[in-house]
Amino acid sequence: MASADVDPTATVGEGSSIWHLAQVRDGATIGESCIIGRGAYVGSGVSVGDNCKIQNYALVYEPAVLEPGVFVGPAAVLTNDEFPRAVNPDGTPKSAHDWQAVGVTLREGASVGARAVCIAPVTVGRWATVAAGAVVTKDVPDYALVAGVPARRLKWVGRAGVPLQDQGDGTYRCPTTGELYDEHEGVLTRRASADEELHA
């Protein structure tokens, strides 16, 4: 869109859309087939993988890394200042040299709900879901559904984003896809399908 502000040094992949009033800063990389919503902000050097959606007014501050297939909901925030202050102890304004940016990493397929905040440095695991309005202060395991302030795991979710059904003995099943998952010591892994095993 003509009203979007995309720095000339940013890279935007084929098939990606950047909507009204969005800002993509210098050195940012947007993968293929991404959607950057109205008023969204993508900071300097941020890496966004293929097939990501960053919804309206979401703020993705550098040096965030979004792996392929990530969803960032409306007005969600990925922070980058672990100890934020506008001024130094002597009262002088902080400059870019007075602090070290730290990033949020969203692994493949992860989703961050509307108005959720991820406090850097944290990693949201593969296919995990952060509920709307949650505040993430520590790493989120793969396939976890977390909610609340601070965010805590409530359930497991599969690649379809739907809560998994407990089958007993540490086995979980996705009611949408039928995929099976195994939990061991708080870690969930997806079982390979017969087709995947055949082609392994």
HSE-up of residue 59 (Cα within 13 Å, Cβ side): 12
CA distance 94 to 88: 6
- pTM for the model: 0.94
Domain coordinates of the chain in residue numbers? 5-157, 160-200
- What pLDDT, on a 0 to 100 scale, did the predictor assign at position 96? 82
Per-residue pLDDT of the chain (200 residues; tens, 9 = 90+): 678 999 999 999 999 999 999 999 999 999 999 999 999 999 999 999 999 999 999 999 999 999 999 999 999 999 999 999 999 999 999 988 888 999 999 999 999 999 999 999 999 999 999 999 999 999 999 999 999 999 999 999 999 999 999 999 999 999 999 999 999 999 999 998 766 655 55
CATH class of segment(s) 5-157: mainly beta
- What pLDDT, on a 0 to 100 scale, did the predictor assign at position 3? 86
CA distance 165 to 177: 12
Tokens of 29: 């990389």
CA distance 132 to 135: 9
Q: Given its phi and psi angles, is residue 186 left (phi above 0), alpha (psi -120 to 50 degrees) or beta?
A: left
- By DSSP bridging, strand 117-118 and strand 77-78 are parallel
Q: Is 197 exposed, middle or buried (0-12, 13-18, 19+ CB in 10 A)?
A: exposed
- What pLDDT, on a 0 to 100 scale, did the predictor assign at position 192? 87
